[in-house]
Amino acid sequence: MPRKKKTTETAELPPAEIIDQPITETIETNYMPYVMTVIVSRAIPAIDGFKPAHRKLLYTMYTHGMMSGGYVKCATITGDMMHLNPHSTDANYDTLVRLTRDYGALLHPLIDSKGSFGKHYSSDMKAAAARYTDARLEKICAEIFRGIDKNAVDMVPNYDNTTTEPTLLPTAFPNVLVNPNMGIAVGMASNICSFNLAEVCDGTTAILKNPNTTSEKLLDIIKAPDFSEGGQLIYDREQMLSIYKTGVGSVRLRAKYRFDPKENCIEIFEIPYSTTIELILKKLTDLLKDGKLREVTDFRDEIGLSGFKLAIDVKRGTDVPKLMEKLYRLTPLEDSFRCNFNLLIDGAPRQLGIAEILKEWIRFRMGCYRRELVYECEQKEKKLHLLLGLGKILLDIDRAIKIVRETEEESMVVPNLMEGFSIDEVQAEYIADIKLRNLNREYIINRIREIESLQSEIAEMKAVIGDELKLKSELIKQLAEIKKKYGQPRRTEIVHIGEVAVPDEDELVENYPVKAVLSREGYFKKITMQSWRGNDEQKLKDGDVISVCCDAENADEVLFFSDRAQVYKAKMSDFDTSKASSLGDYIPSKLNFDDGEGVLYMCPVREYAENVNIVFVFENGKCVKVPLSAYETKTNRKRLTNAYSSASPAVAAFIEREPFEIMLYSSAGRALVVSTAKIPVKTTRTSQGVSIFTLKKDNKVISAKKDPSEISEDPSRYRRGKLPSSGIALSDADSGSAQIKLL
């Protein structure tokens, strides 16, 4: 029997109700909470120098006893971290990797690691899986957690109220400036570079002693950022002072190298903190393909157990310093670190300078240390209170024993001791719990001796708690101890900007012969001679033709004359090499021409010689020669207005190194062959020139071509001894040829 088809009835849902809501209200109720969560709880570091994920990871390791003992599997650590940071274990592991010694991102690593954790200077070298790697806290973390068990910071419930975690870590040194941090929130970001620990401790001490310490004075103490990758920092004092004051700016970093003359090899052993070896290798590959590094024969990544090394083989006789200046300019071997000191202060983001950051840290640290002292003072006062009760027993130990022995009920021991010795319940409980073996005079006298030392310590603590100057003095001592214990020499070398050679731009340009090709529509190609010989078929848009094709060199300057009497100047090296099979660069877009402006002529220039001219032909039949030197500028100007006369539209332009003939065509079908030797030179660029082609009303010159012998069967027919001339009517053969040429 065939099965009956099931029919299902679906109930129609009522249409969703559409509620009108102002966009501002939508943003306020739905978007702003998300924004604030990202800023406060994820991306922006706080005054302790940590983002929430870092803080949760370190506290998890601290509470699990990883300050001492052996290594623990990272898989265990990231799993335990889920109690505080319920994201994926992969996200937790990424957080752990960045803080490790093996990864190398921090000046003072916070996690001692064992295994493969990748490298900060490589985007391809990844950390091994968490089940294979091990970690524990570094010794410097003792300063990160100093006082955390003594109520130094607030503790809050974790996300499911099963435990507590600190809102901040009571760092005993300004970790916020010692280790770098970066975060991207919504509408804001933070990028804090690292500074040398010893210098930061000295700078903080200076502000503790004199809160009015200026940024200028601070700059003499904390000299400049210091990065874990080392390298060189190009030091500009004014620029650095601006960063110290505002918290915004950028610093230039350079790779460090050494040259082995025996092997003819440059060894790069330190690179800027902000780049990777993959970016450097990619740029070197591109430059070598483009023929811009003819001094380099090979390069390779030689990273090994000894550390970072990038080897660059060069040709014999190469000027290595000059080549390195070129590489600094063209590759990420010189890079910038953009500073943006955005921090959470009391839960709100603020952009601060170095002095302001240290003052905020001092305020935070003084609060932590004061709370720590208050906690210790309370503990000592409790102990003192017990010992004062014990001291009363010293007067009559036998009586205390008798009271305990003759008390019939255990619950009455404490009340009877309270009554017998006039002590309170806490003291009586303490005395009642003393072991029988300790009820001897020696034990009791030794305990009582502690009373004086406790009273002295409590008095000192209260004096410090109530005196800001004494609090600061204690912080200064702590910073001196930390500097002595963990301070290390600078890794990043400071090179003053005056010591850096400023190479001539032309010297850095690799020079080689090229073909410069310009089409009538404004497409430009720079083709190497090797590529030119391989393929001479030029790709062009439909209807487009080549208007200029000439030899040039890559170091040449190139002038582009527009149809609006302007000239745009560029470097031939600014253009990438093209192939004949490509369209090339669209010049009006590349050089930011005005709207509707087109290219009239292109001219490569090696030098602005006095005997070289630019010939202009105008619609009204006039021609003029302007010296090429008229377009030479002392400054690096990109555009010159009034490059030639705008009284009549220009039809054509040519460069004249030696006189040559041009053939002019009129709209009336007439032509005239003229030698450029008969066109006068005018020193003023805007000169209208002289009349060459006599035209009737409503007629105009529509074109001008070089080398008439290649255009006309009989060019002598159109030559005239006397100028101006009305030209000669085109022959039938030349008329057809002209139409083809003018398409």
Query: Catalytic positions, please?
Result: 132
What does the alpha-carbon distance between residue 705 and residue 23 come to, in Å, rounded to a whole number? 64
Q: What is the residue whose two structure tokens read 């009582």?
A: 448
What does the alpha-carbon distance between residue 624 and residue 682 come to, in Å, rounded to a whole number? 7
What does the alpha-carbon distance between residue 288 and residue 359 come to, in Å, rounded to a whole number? 50
What does the alpha-carbon distance between residue 317 and residue 322 come to, in Å, rounded to a whole number? 12
**Sequence-ordered alpha helix ranges (H) in 509-613:** 529-534, 587-590
Strand partners, 577: 526
Helix axes 354-394, 425-432, angle to 10 degrees: 70
Nearest residue to 56 (alpha-carbon basis) of 11, 104, 99, 115: 99
* φ, ψ for residue 594, nearest 5 deg: -65, 160
Nearest residue to 229 (alpha-carbon basis) of 192, 247, 256, 262: 256
What does the alpha-carbon distance between residue 191 and residue 250 come to, in Å, rounded to a whole number? 10
Helix (H) or strand (E) holding 602: strand 599-605
What is the C-alpha end-to-end distance of the chain, expressed in Å? 81
Residue 38 CB contacts under 8 Å (≥ 6 apart), including other chains: 185, 186
> Is the preceding peptide bond at 724 cis, omega within 30 degrees of 0?
yes
Contact 113, 102 (CB under 8 A): yes
- Where are the extended beta strands (E) located within 463-522? 493-496, 513-519
Helix (H) or strand (E) holding 742: helix 732-742
Query: Pairing between strand 622-627 and 265-270?
Result: unpaired
Residue type, 382: K
Burial of 450-479, coded b for 16+ CB within 10 Å and e otherwise, reads: eeeebeeebeebeebbeeeeebbeebbebb
Three-state DSSP state, 370: helix
Contact 281, 301 (CB under 8 A): yes
The DSSP secondary structure of 624-677, one letter per residue, reads EEEEGGGG--SS--SEES--S--SS-EEEEEEESS--EEEEEETTSEEEEEEGG
Tokens of 515: 């073909």
Residue type, 195: F
Query: What does the radius of gyration of the chain's CA atoms come to, in whole angstroms?
Result: 41
Other Cβ atoms closer than 10 A to 620: 19
